[in-house]
């Protein structure tokens, strides 16, 4: 099943009584749609089928065990992605999503990158929509449009733009148009965005997440992320003092506008 072919039997270990193999079953069932019904044009676009399949696998697990399980599995996948990129080297072209395999054996490109970096793209789109039911509708539209066909990155991106323009709010379409496709698809290393597992930890008042949140906001200066994270940390009353202290410590590393807007979230400016 992992090779996207018909299979009638599963190893008993996959259906253990404690459910530890359910994610494998969910993954292979998802391949019936993303891999069999719609598949990649060639190995340079291999990530497409695995990205959707991993996304759907974790969505299924979230439906069974709750959203925290989905988030937990995704966080584990992020660690696998980091380990894989460290092994290859963050500048290695084989850590891109859209590969150029000219003169290479496609099997040399096999790693966690197409699975985990790819699924991060799909997760990012889902978060842009801010409406999981609408994004589910996009997936059904995508599968219907391209059923029994092999597709490329260009086909995929044109399809989500087409659907979003017709069905989603204008601001979602605008964000997609402004998506840095070069950074996402053509550059090696980690993707330019990490999904909002940090926000889940904040909402759950999970104290070990605090250090990770501040480390992440210190490592980059994007308004979109830092406004939301500092706003959520400010709402966590037990962490409010540390949040303001951290802001004053790192604000000069950001652009002025980022520091100003984050400061407003912390009620420091009128």
Is residue 40 part of an annotated ligand binding site?
no
Beta strands 149-151; 38-40: pairing state = parallel
Residue 45 DSSP one-character state: G
Per DSSP, helices labelled H in 116-239 are: 118-129, 132-145, 153-167, 170-177, 181, 197-203, 209-219, 223-235
Q: So which residues are the catalytic ones?
A: 28, 115
Q: Are 52 and 60 in contact (CB under 8 A)?
A: no
Is residue 248 part of an annotated ligand binding site?
no
Is residue 27 part of an annotated ligand binding site?
yes
Q: Count of residues for the chain?
A: 270
Residue 149 DSSP one-character state: E
Closest to 90 (Cα-Cα) out of 101, 100, 81: 81
Residues in binding site: 27, 31, 50
Residues in binding site for Zn(2+): 27, 31, 50
């Amino acid at each position: 099943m992992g090779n996207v072919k018909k299979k009638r039997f599963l190893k008993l270990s996959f259906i253990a009584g404690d459910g530890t193999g359910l994610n494998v079953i969910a993954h292979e069932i998802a391949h019936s749609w993303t891999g069999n019904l719609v598949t990649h044009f060639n190995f340079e676009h291999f990530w497409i089928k695995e990205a959707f399949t991993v996304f759907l696998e974790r969505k299924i697990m979230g439906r069974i065990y709750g959203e925290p399980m989905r988030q937990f599995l995704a966080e584990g996948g992020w660690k696998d992605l980091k380990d894989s990129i460290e092994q290859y080297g963050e500048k290695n072209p084989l850590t891109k999503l859209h590969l150029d395999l000219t003169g290479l054996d496609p099997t040399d490109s096999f790693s966690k990158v197409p699975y985990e970096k790819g699924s991060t793209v799909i997760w990012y789109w889902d978060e842009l929509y801010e409406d999981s039911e609408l994004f589910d509708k996009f997936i059904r539209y995508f599968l219907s449009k391209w059923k029994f066909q092999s597709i490329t990155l260009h086909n995929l991106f044109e399809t989500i733009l087409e659907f979003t323009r017709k069905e989603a709010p204008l601001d979602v379409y605008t964000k997609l148009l402004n998506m840095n496709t070069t950074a996402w698809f053509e550059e090696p290393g980690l993707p330019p965005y990490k999904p909002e597992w940090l926000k889940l930890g904040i909402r759950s008042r999970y104290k070990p997440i605090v250090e990770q949140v501040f480390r992440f906001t210190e490592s980059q200066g994007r308004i979109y992320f830092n406004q939301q994270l500092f706003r959520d940390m400010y709402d966590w009353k037990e962490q409010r003092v540390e949040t303001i202290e951290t802001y004053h410590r790192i604000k000069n590393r950001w652009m002025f506008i980022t520091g100003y807007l984050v400061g407003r979230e912390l009620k420091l400016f009128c």
